[in-house]
Structure 1
Amino acid sequence: MTFEAYGSVVDDSGYEARGRERQALSLGIDRLERLQKGRFSFEDLVESLLYVRRLWTIFIEDLAHPENGLPEKLRADIISIGLWVVKEADRLREERSNDVMQLIEINRLIRDAL
């Protein structure tokens, strides 16, 4: 395989990965929007918030990996956002907050930037 061909495979893989990340974030946003509209059971609340928490935990772990190709400053900034998302999801789950809109907005911003 030539370097050019390898480069196009890597580029395609990155594009596909971003697509999967967008899909995962969209699913989380859909779940959060249902919570915002008040159409949920307690089980839905817990499952939705745990989904968002797990998703961001995966993102944080990937960003913290030394072989992640993003610039270090960008990785650190996104990790900070991710830690906030995880904490806010926990606050909502523990009923110490009821503002789902902030989580929706930050997830939209990140998804749309991919």
Structure 2
Amino acid sequence: MYQFTYAEVVDDSPQDMRERERDALARCIDMLEAAEKAGPQSAEARDALTFLRRLWSIFIEDLSSEGNDLPRDLRVQLISIGIWTLKEIERLRSGAKQSFGDLIEINAIIRDGLA
């Protein structure tokens, strides 16, 4: 699992930070793909959705901070994607949705945009 101290993250260059975000999203996508194969009630699904929820919670918190250097419009758009992601996670957990495909696709787009 990805665990970093705050000091390690703060000292990173923007390129290093994007690389970590890309790596975390890639790991998440791998987990979501395994969950898609195992089914929405599987341990793989539980683990993938927990990881994804934590990751997007971190992203949303960072995007909401005044210290974030991204343009405001981009931050707002990414926060909207994050909120949608959190809602999709709950739909999967509740059984209202059965496929992880949309989450995989959106997170892959975000990951690829960090390249």
Answer yes or no: same fold by TM over 0.5: yes
- The answer to which structure has the higher helix fraction is 1
For normalisation by structure 2, the TM-score amounts to 0.84
Per-residue CA deviation, residues 65-105 of structure 1 (Å, 9 max, x unaligned), is 01100000000000000000111011111211012100000
Q: Give the share of equivalent positions with the same residue, in percent.
A: 47
Structure having the higher Rg: 1
Deviates more, 1:50-59 or 1:31-40: 31-40
1:43 deviates by: 2.2
Inter-partner Cα distance in structure 2 for 1:41 and 1:96: 12
1:15-30 mapped onto 2 (5 Å cutoff): 15-30=15-30
Q: Does the 8 A contact of 2:60 with 2:82 survive in 1? A: yes
Inter-partner Cα distance in structure 1 for 2:50 and 2:97: 15
Deviates more, 1:66-75 or 1:93-102: 93-102
1:68-107 mapped onto 2 (5 Å cutoff): 68-107=68-107
Give the root-mean-square deviation of aligned CA atoms: 1.8
Deviates more, 1:84-93 or 1:70-79: 84-93
Q: Does the 8 A contact of 1:34 with 1:40 survive in 2? A: no
Inter-partner Cα distance in structure 1 for 2:40 and 2:109: 24
For normalisation by structure 1, the TM-score amounts to 0.85
Aligned length: 104
Inter-partner Cα distance in structure 2 for 1:92 and 1:41: 9
Inter-partner Cα distance in structure 1 for 2:96 and 2:40: 18
